[in-house]
Chains A and B, each alone.
Chain A
Amino acid sequence: MRRYIFSLLLGLTFCCPVLVAQTPAAASTSDRLTKLEAQVAQAQSSADNAWMLTSAALVLMMTGPGLALFYGGLVRKKNVLATMMQSFAMMAIISVLWALLNYSLAFGSGTSFVGGLHNVFLRGVGLTPDPDYSATIPLQTFMIYQLMFAIITPALVTGAFAERMKFSAMALFLTLWAIVVYSPMAHMVWGKGGLLNAALGGRFPTLDFAGGTVVHITSGVSALVCALYLGKRVGYPKEAMPPHSVVLSFIGACLLWVGWFGFNAGSALGSSPLATSAFVNTHFGAAAAALSWALAEWIRNGKPSALGAISGAVAGLVAITPAAGFVQPMSAIVIGLVAGVFCYFMVIKVKAWFGYDDSLDAFGVHGAGGTIGAILTGIFASSAINPIFKDPKTGATLPSGAIEGNWHQIGNQLVGIAIAWVISIVGTLILLKIVDVTIGLRVPTDDEVEGLDLTQHGEEGYDFAS
């Protein structure tokens, strides 16, 4: 009996595969098409993500070592490390703060003025895309890319109070500033539901492709407030305080130019023709502005200086920032030419008229450059480059800027500019006051004379004798 059952089981074991096996059905054309579509989407995502991660790295490089070198070379030797340390501190502090809180305040859903707390500790920020921001890249890519902007913006402000602010006060002030000024401004222009968000139906759509208002106006205007509040450096303006190393500034400026391709072209949020437009415009804006500043200097002083040329390039990059993904290349050249001369005038004449000590011209270049750039964006924006405005009923593309007949856009730009100015002035004043009454802002006079490298950090930047 047992042997019978055993043979039966053995037989079934051999039969079963034969009974179960079927001829594979031919995969249908529609199945293959679906698979193909998925692969194409995957390929597009990969391309976009590769460019976005690269862009994020480029933007970080703008702060460190780009801005660190640019600013570091402009100060006196005794303050070189302290100045670079301010940029580096932003890389460290803002990064952690972004993950803990600020990403949520900037890009989480909330009100039209600021995001909510839904995404604190990066909750909900995973590797799948958020179509409101970009349908093809992981949300974490978007988050890390935006972080690099959040880092460089407060770092730019440090130019105003260079050589006289306490490290502790700077760290506290800029941490609070990032929460109170940067995040809301970023939210208004780029966040979902933002009041000024042109891409997501904001009430006053401000065309700001890569941060002319969010980054440059806020940092530049806040810098001016800081310079006025803190007062001038000891000995300014009688004592000569020339840059201790234009060489360092030169290297920094070139790193800024190259890094800016990530800043502007990366703001296309993909490796698209729009990224190409932004890349091309960025480059021409920088070049044209370097020429116009150098030319202005040549005419006025008889010689074009290296510092002038690189400052011009930076001014052009600032001005093209809001316009990069909206204008034609020839417009970018015009914007650059205008920005070079305008910022030269701001730094040379206006600063002397009012007598404020904006040590590294954060306001003259970024505040002024961002403002003029945002206005020019309203003039030169072209729907042929970026069809950002669409008729809600028909879906037809609407004119973007004044050159296409949409003069109303200049008004919207002015609203965005005004909000950036107001939030910067009010926020900065309040925060400066808070930090001033709690821990104090300036270093003691003796420390300022001895130098911040030694007194704030216990170091010397250069020790060639050793």
Chain B
Amino acid sequence: MQKIEAVIQPSKLDAVKDALVEIGIEGMTILEARGHGRQKGHTEFYRGREYTVDLLPKIKLEMVIPDELVDKAVEAIQSSARTGKIGDGKIFISKIDDAIRIRNDERGPSAL
């Protein structure tokens, strides 16, 4: 079991979700996040004072999936989230020790 964390542009959320559903991944957690990599922020003006906003809105998806699906999931996310511009986001993959279904104590890959 591996965890995929993907930070993407908020406008790409629907496209990414659709692409993941198409390859059989339906369970995921979606968080509203703020952040930036190399993307520059923007300036806002209030009553003549300049404010540099460099914490930009992002969407973060987290999903724990069986090992067999990881490559397909990464490909799905990349193709649907990419615009080619700085700020597209990143994907991180990590190993998961265990997964437990709260409802009935199921453990391991069948709990995913």
Interface residues of A (CB under 8 A from B): 237, 240, 242-243, 246, 297, 301, 303, 305, 307-308, 311, 344, 347-349, 351-352, 361
Contacts and interface: CB of A to CB of B under 8 A. Distances in A.
Contact of B44 (A237, A242, A297, A344): A242
- Of B44, B46, B47, chain A has the most CB atoms within 10 Å of the CB of B47
A301 B47 contact: no
A242 B51 contact: yes
A301 B45 contact: yes
Interface in B27-52: 44-49, 51-52
Contacts of A308: 47
A400 B45 CA distance: 42
A301 B44 CA distance: 10
Nearest to B48: A348
Contacts of A242: 44, 46, 49, 51
Contacts of B46: 242-243, 246, 305, 307
27 contacts: A237-B49, A240-B51, A240-B52, A242-B44, A242-B46, A242-B49, A242-B51, A243-B46, A246-B46, A297-B45, A301-B45, A303-B45, A305-B45, A305-B46, A307-B46, A307-B47, A308-B47, A311-B47, A344-B48, A347-B47, A347-B48, A348-B47, A348-B48, A349-B48, A351-B48, A352-B48, A361-B47
At the interface, is chain A mostly helix, strand, loop or mixed? helix
B51 to A, nearest CB: 5
A206 to B, nearest CB: 30
Interface in B87-109: none
Contacts of B47: 307-308, 311, 347-348, 361
Contacts of A344: 48
Nearest to A297: B45
Contacts of A307: 46-47
Query: Ordered nearest first, which 6 A-B pairs have the shortest CB separation?
Result: A348-B48, A240-B51, A242-B51, A242-B46, A301-B45, A347-B47
Interface string B39-76: 00000111111011000000000000000000000000
A352 B47 CA distance: 11
B36 to A, nearest CB: 16
A305 B45 CA distance: 8
A2 to B, nearest CB: 102
Nearest to A348: B48
Contacts of B44: 242
Contacts of B48: 344, 347-349, 351-352
A352 B49 CA distance: 9
A366 B46 CA distance: 18
Contacts of B49: 237, 242
Contacts of B45: 297, 301, 303, 305
